[in-house]
Amino acid sequence: MKTIISIIAALLFSTLFYGQNIGLNLSVFSVITIGLLIFQHPKIARLKSAIVFIVVYFTTAIVVYFNHSALAIFANCVAFFTLIGTFSESRSSIYIRWLNGIYTTIAAYFQRRSDSTIDQEQQNWKKNRDYLQLAKLIGIPLMVSIVFILMYKNGNPIFNGFIEKINFEFINFQWFLFSLLGFFLFNNIINPVQIHPATTKDLQTDNQLHPTGLLLLDQLKKEQQLGILLMALLNILLIFYSITDIYYLLNNDIISASALSSQVHSGINTLIASIIVAILIILYFFRGNLNFYQDNVLLKNLSYTWIFLNIGLVVLIAIKNTEYVVVYGFTYKRIGVFTYLFLTLAGLITTFLKVRNVRNLWFLFRINTQVAFAILMVSSCIDWDHAITNYNLKHAENLDLNYLIDLTDNNAILLQDYTAEHRVSSNQQQRIHDKYIGFIDKVSERNWQEWTYDNILINKKFDR
Amino acid sequence: MNVFLNFCKSTVLATLIFWMIISPKSFEVDTFLFVLLSMIPVFVCCVVTIALTIYPFFSLFETKAFDKKAVFNTFFPFYAIVAFSLCIYVIFLSNFEFYMIAFFTSAFMTTSYSWVWFSKEPM
């Protein structure tokens, strides 16, 4: 049954993807995958975590059709691996699901081959088979025939002509191999496998930190003294830095792009160093028994202060970046800064939770990878090229039109509409026109497998 | 462990996969000779790759308590993920060049099968 399903799925796979670009085909593939997984594993599909990831994967499939951006395709692939990993082991952490998902997709067949046990009857049959004789029967006549065919070809022009006429071009062998790849893929994902040591270890590890051995009070006291001194110094330093930064922010009307850019980037560098050091120091001191030491309140409070001061640093840089965006509009780098700030904020909050709730390092890994996954999924839902162009054309005080022209074709219609209503240089107008025409041509030439939402838009625009 | 048999089986498999992929582009009757000749460099590639990247796992880690199956279950998943990533990366670097796809597809499939063959051998 599974083989028949895999064969049908493989034929669909080659129909969807053979010689085609990404478009509607990836969305259809996602729906087929979801359908097959639910059909094959109905019990797992009813679990809450499976439902969540099915919805996420389905959403990314729709997003690929509407956005057609590299980020949307990447998010769809990540969601695919996560879903497969969920069907491998639904209780595991998200990074173990990724590993299981990737492993299942690329090598589940080999895992099953290794796991398969041959029964006695098959073993006897294998033993009784004379491999050498079989090789002789096939190999020797084949090789001798080929050598003689090659010799006779040179000796007789009619025979040569006959041999030359033999061709297998009527068989699309590459299509067959592509279908084989599809079969391999579906055969793998229909029966998900696990990376045993990693999955087992993950399931056995909880998020709670436990005391290790006896609490050596003298040693813990010394460690705490060092921690208090270090954290107090770092807090004072960061307070001083933040005050000077706020003063600078309030008393300087910087309008040049380079000055704003340098401010944001130096701020980001400071932030990166500060956050990494902060988290490492906190993790070092709260790695073990200091968490269970009764007099650790001061050290904990200093750590919380340090975390909140770093959150303040995040806010300061966010303000600078917003200023930058208001004047010069959005770019990918500026959006990247916001993303980084958001991730940092999540990292700091989870570190705070780790210390407060006495959690271990695995808790940080688990929760932060989930946050990263969520951010990727949410950000893939936005057509960034379109959003950047739309915002900059409407709101940016200093518009960099060349930057917008260099973005992908997703903003071609917006730019073309803009040139119809605004004055732009002839060079830019020409470039926008070329981009628009190129986009229309590209969209019009697509096969149904490559369709995206742009096809509907273009058809509507030209009333086809 | 019968390493030599593993080398031979891998050579045959790698040759078959490689020529199966490239055959629609360049296969004529004369090519049969090249198929046979190509087994020599393929054999060298297989010996080097298997001896350096697969065999050491079994020779170093296999014990009575930690059998071939356990070695396979512990190390193969990570080997497969790393090997697949490297193959995809090189194919991407080559701008999806046809012969590179053929070479690295056969390399990935052959090394994976080599793991399976090693894991299925008796102690």
One domain, residues A270 and A415 = no
**Which site among A81, A84, A104, A114 would you substitute to test the B interface, given the most B Cβ atoms closer than 10 Å to its Cβ?**
A114
Per-residue model confidence (pLDDT) at position A85: 95
Return d(Cα A87, Cα A61) in angstroms, integer: 18
Residues A196, B23: C-beta atoms closer than 8 Å: no
pLDDT at A323 over 90: no
Let me know if residue B49 belongs to a domain: yes
Residues of B within 8 A of A197 (CB-CB) are: 73-74
Rounded Cα distance between A48 and A55, Å, is 11
Does residue A146 carry a pLDDT above 70?
A: yes
* Residues A170 and A109 placed together within one structural domain of the fold: yes
- ipTM of model: 0.92
CB contact under 8 A, A196 and B74: yes
Helix, strand, or coil (residue B95) = coil
| Burial (CB count <10 Å: 0-12, 13-18, 19+), residue A454 | buried
Helix axes B3-26, B98-120, angle to 10 degrees: 150
Whether A328 and A235 map to the same domain: the answer is: yes
Residue B24, chain A, CB below 8 Å: the answer is: yes
Average predicted confidence (pLDDT) for chain A: 86
* φ/ψ of residue A359, rounded to 5: -100, 165
Looking at the fold, whether A355 and A433 belong to one and the same domain comes out as: no
Give A102's contacts in chain B (Cβ within 8 Å).
81, 84
- Could B78 and A107 be called an inter-chain contact, meaning their C-beta atoms sit closer than 8 Å? no
> Which candidate from B30, B36, B119 shows the least CB-CB separation from A114?
B119
Number of domains into which chain A is organized: 3
Q: Number of CB pairs < 8 Å for A and B? A: 60
> Encoding tokens for residue A292?
């269970």
Burial (0-12, 13-18, 19+ Cβ within 10 Å), A129 = exposed
A125: distance to nearest CA of chain B, Å? 17
Give the integer Cα–Cα distance in Å for A41 and A33: 12
Cβ atoms of B12 and A131 closer than 8 Å: no
Q: Chain A partners of B74 at a C-beta cutoff of 8 Å? A: 196-197
A126, part of any domain: no
Which residue type is seen at A458? I
Dump pLDDT digits (tens) for A105-133. Answer: 999 999 999 887 755 555 565 556 666 77
Instruction: Give the side-chain half-sphere CA count within 13 A for B18.
Output: 24
Out of B20, B29, B116, whose CB is closest to A114? B116
Find the CB nearest A173 among B23, B33, B36: B23
Residue range A8-40, pLDDT digits in tens = 999 999 999 998 889 999 999 999 999 999 999
Contact assignment for A150 to B29 by CB distance below 8 Å: yes
Q: Do the beta carbons of residue A413 and residue A436 sit within 8 Å?
A: yes
- For residues A202 and A96, the answer to whether their CB atoms sit within 8 Å is yes
Same domain for A296 and A423?
no
Cβ(A94)–Cβ(A79) under 8 Å? Answer: no
Instruction: Say what the pTM is.
Output: 0.84
Q: Is A456 on the interface with B (CB under 8 A)?
A: no
Q: Could you say which of A164, A179, A207 is where a domain stops?
A: A207
Q: Does B69 touch chain A (CB under 8 A)?
A: yes
For residues A177 and B20, the answer to whether their CB atoms sit within 8 Å is yes
Q: Which of residues 237-296 of A touch B (CB under 8 A)?
A: none
List helix spans (H) across A116-172. 120-128, 131-155, 157-165
Question: Are A314 and A181 contained in the same domain?
Answer: no
Query: Residue A62: which of A75, A43, A46 has the closest Cα?
Result: A75
Min Cα–Cα distance to chain A from B14, Å: 15
Query: A334 and A276, same structural domain?
Result: yes
Among A3-7, A77-81, A304-308, A457-461, the range with the most confident prediction by mean pLDDT is A77-81
- Residue A215: pLDDT band by 50, 70, 90 thresholds? low
Same domain, A340 and A409: no
- The Cα A347–Cα A371 span in angstroms is 9
Chain A residue nearest residue B28, CA to CA: A167
What domain range includes position A263?
A: 224-359
**How does pLDDT run across A241-258, given as a tens digit for each residue?**
888 888 877 776 655 666
| A168 and A236 both lie in a single domain | no
Per-residue pLDDT of chain B (123 residues), as tens digits, is 788 999 999 999 999 999 888 876 555 666 777 888 889 999 999 999 999 999 999 999 988 888 899 999 999 999 999 999 999 999 999 998 989 999 999 999 999 999 999 998 876
The count of other CB atoms within 10 Å of the CB of residue B20 is 17
* Domain with B38 in it: 3-22+32-120
Instruction: Report the C-alpha gap between A111 and B46 in whole angstroms.
Output: 21
Which one of A77, A111, A122, A187 would you mutate to disrupt binding with B, by most B Cβ within 10 Å of its Cβ? A111
How confident is the model at residue A460, as a pLDDT?
A: 83
Q: Rg of chain B over CA atoms, in angstroms?
A: 16
B8-38, pLDDT tens digit by residue?
999 999 999 998 888 765 556 667 778 888 8
Q: How far is B96 from chain A (nearest CA, A)?
A: 13
Q: Is residue A370 situated within a structural domain?
A: no
- The pLDDT of residue A94 is 94
Whether residues A352 and A428 fall in one domain: no
Q: Give the integer Cα–Cα distance in Å for A50 and A67.
A: 25
Given A359, A375, A407, the domain boundary residue is A359
Helix (H, G, I), strand (E, B) or coil at A176: helix
Q: Is residue B20 less than 8 Å (CB to CB) from chain A?
A: yes
The predicted structure's pLDDT at residue A151 = 76
Residue A164 has pLDDT above 80, yes or no: no
- Please tell me the total count of domains within chain B: 1
* Domain annotation covers residue A177: yes
- Mapped onto helix, strand or coil, the DSSP state of residue A421 is helix
CB contact under 8 A, A102 and B112: no
| Window 152-191 of A, Cβ < 8 Å to B | 153, 163, 166, 168, 172-174, 177
pLDDT value, residue A269: 74
Please check whether residues A354 and A270 belong to one and the same domain. yes
Which letter does DSSP use for residue A208 in this model? B
Determine the Cα–Cα distance for residues B85 and B62; give it in Å rounded to an integer: 26
Identify whether residues A343 and A427 lie together within a single domain.
Answer: no
Judge contact between A383 and A66, C-beta under 8 A: yes
